[in-house]
Structure 1
Amino acid sequence: MSKRHDAVFDDVLSGLGDSPAKEGRGGARFLARSTRVGERLSGEIEEKTLRWVDPAQCRMWARHNRAYELLTEDNCRDLIDGIKSQGRQEFPAVVRATGDDAVPYEVVCGARRHFAVSWLRAHNFPQMRYLVEVRDLTDEEAFRLADIENRDREDISDYERARDYAEALRLYYGGRQRDMAQRLEVSDAWLSRYLQLAKLPDEIVAAFGSIRDVREAHARSLKPHLGRGPEREAILAEARAIAAEGKGLDPAAVLRRLRAVVAKPTDRRGKETVFKGPRHQRGMKMRRMNRTIQLEFLDTAGRADLEAAFEMFLEAQFGRKA
């Protein structure tokens, strides 16, 4: 048995009386505590440090993947009502120590919980406190933890996530996309789509009502055009116009307008042929429309002109008469 075990057990045994009843209870406590100590030392149990704190003692981690300024009473209403109903926060946020006595914690995961508790404290529930789990994490570990917790949450937009990935690629993975994909356990193609979204020009992002409206599919749709100089400039000009209008168009309408300025017109008239003799100025136009033929001529055309044009048309269709 190790010296550490001996010290623990000596502490447990000290002060035990000699009576059988006390000896029995002490023995039970001794066995239970020795089991817990053994489990902790063997790594079978990992203890967590949970604390109830004033949310004012916490700040958002600078690399938190949620835009805290976009949190409102409305989009946090479900969480606010849940905490109020339970009388407390059920699941702890994950924080790191800052070393700053004034604000000792920074939030890695739990921005909505922080907002909800802060809102309740300011609205007739001053007793509410913020439950946090204090962990020792590197920046890269904190990034991956936040990503795992929030990857499937719909209240974090594609653009927020894309922006977070692009910054992480630069800071933690030296620009090596494959290394980052392996660490996040996602495919290169999946990660590439979000990194492409992060490159969307600011003018286009501003054309949408909110960054939460900007989707990965929008970037994918515009990508071919943004790589061509004239088309890129046309799209950016239209995006600036949309933003200046300030009409708050829905995302689909914004995308339609951006794509419309680079859409190629479709010629629905079909192939056109003109039949006319040397002295005829306009003649007769023929257009093929699927399996039909459309003939067009001025209503002022003379008989001789039309006969000549029709003769040319019939020869083109059936060949010369024998």
Structure 2
Amino acid sequence: MSSRKHDAVFDDVLSGLDQPAAPAEAEQARGGTRFLKRSHALGERMAGTREEKLLHWVDPAECRMWERHNRDYAALTEESCRDLIDGMLAQGRQEFPAVVRRLKGEDHAYEVICGARRHFAVSWLRANTYTQFRYLVEVRDLTDEEAFRLSDLENRERADLSDFERARDYAEAIELYYGGKQKTMAQRLEVSEAWLSRFLALARLPAEVRAAFASPHDLRELHARTLKPLLADPARRAAILEEAAALAQEQREGAGLEAAAVMRRLKSAGVTPSVPALRHYGAEGRGVSVRRKGRGYVIEMPGGLSRPEAEAALAAFVAAQFDPESGSDKA
């Protein structure tokens, strides 16, 4: 049979599939469609191009968060999950499955690796009259290291996951799974060592500095990058930690200082203010004061100074600049 005839016959066979079947033929048509789909799926699996996923609709109460889940579940609220709750209400169900592992001999059947917000949203809906909602999960067999990488990959670009949550997760994982080797961890996560180093520095900020912020969620990777070299100087470190303790006390008392204000105070701790050189010429209380400003001078003269007093004070200033042997102080 020629290629053109083969295509024509094939088109003819499939031409009726998009049309509504007659009542007597409906079940036969559905059976044929299921057979074609199943045959196609089996072919893909045998060819290694298809991976079957096992999905379940479960009660969220059957699930617990993995102890190393990188999201702070306790910090989730109706407000922070409102977009997800509204989306589920609009769709009538959860659209994308969470990833879980099975548990044996535990109070829960599943452990949530990815999908904390989805779990919260479904739980909230069920607790607020929408009892028909269930939690869609994909069951996988994962090692702890694989679970960590999967969770990190899913949440890496999420704006609602704070830098500090991510940093804390990395600091724990590098010891648990990578023997403390930053290079190995960066390769497994497929990120640069420099990028990973910045988050590890954030996790390793002194507890006193972390407490200076109103919330750990206010901490950013940039803050650690700025403070790291300052803390490396022993003298500056002591001053920064002292200022951090003062800030922490103010925060506990309800100051509510924003991150930018906290950083300004921490960066200025231990820095000696640069005071312009100030010299006085003439009789005490009856002369002129001179200070440097850039490459010039600012001369301040009090009101009520007589002309002779002013001339004498200015002469002393000029002499100090051009006649060092005069014994007068230079400005």
Please confirm whether the aligned pair reaches a TM-score higher than 0.5, indicating the same fold: yes
Alpha-carbon RMSD: 3.4
One of 265, 272, 284 as aligned partner of 1:264: 272
In structure 2, what is the equivalent of residue 62 of structure 1?
67
8 Å CA contact retained: 2:99, 2:138 = yes
Contact 1:173 1:179 in 2 (8 A): yes
TM, length-normalised to structure 2: 0.77
Comparing 303-312 and 237-246, the one that deviates more: 303-312
Q: Using a 3 Å threshold, how does the CA distance of structure 1 residues 178 and 116 change in structure 2: closer, same or farther?
A: same
User: What SS does the aligned partner of 1:205 have?
Assistant: helix
TM-fit CA distance, 1:238: 2.4
**How far off is 1:167 after superposition?**
0.8
SS in 2 for 1:48: coil
User: Cα deviations across residues 140-163 of structure 1 (Å, max 9, x unaligned)?
Assistant: 111111111110100000000000
Structure 1 position 31, deviation (Å):
6.5
Q: 2:183: which partner in 1?
A: 178
Distance 1:305 1:30 in 2: 108
Helix, strand or coil for the counterpart of 1:132?
strand
> What residue in structure 2 maps to residue 224 of structure 1?
229
Give me the TM-score of the superposition, normalised by structure 1: 0.79
Contact 2:288 2:313 (C-alpha < 8 Å) held by counterparts = no
**216-225 or 157-166, which deviates more:** 216-225
Measured after TM superposition, the shift of residue 29 of structure 1 is 7.0
Partner of 2:89: 84
Residue 268 of structure 2 aligns with an amino acid whose one-letter code is: A
State the one-letter code of the partner of 1:254.
V
Query: Cα distance 1:236–1:300, how it changes in 2: closer, same or farther (>3 A)?
Result: same
SS of the residue aligned with 1:38?
A: helix
> Relative to 1, partners in 2 of residues 1:313 and 1:46: Cα closer, same or farther, differing over 3 Å?
same
CA distance in 2, matches of 1:230, 1:315: 37
Residue ranges of structure 1 left out of the alignment (5+ in a row): 1-22
Q: How far 1:192 moved relative to its partner?
A: 0.4
Tell me which residue corresponds to 1:110.
Answer: 115
SS of the aligned residue for 1:51 comes to: strand
1:145-156 matched pairs, under 5 angstroms? 145-156=150-161
Any idea what SS the aligned residue of 2:44 has? helix
SS at match of 1:182: helix
Q: Which of 287, 294, 299 matches 1:290?
A: 294
Correspondence for 1:246 = 254
How big is the shift at 1:259? 2.1
- Distance (whole Å) between structure 1 residues aligned to residue 202 and residue 182 of structure 2: 15
How many residues are paired up? 294
Which residue does the alignment assign to 1:201? 206
Q: Percent of counterpart pairs with the same letter?
A: 57
1:72 paired residue number: 77
Question: After the TM superposition, which residues 27-46 of structure 1 pair with which residues of structure 2 at under 5 Å, given as runs?
Answer: 33-46=38-51
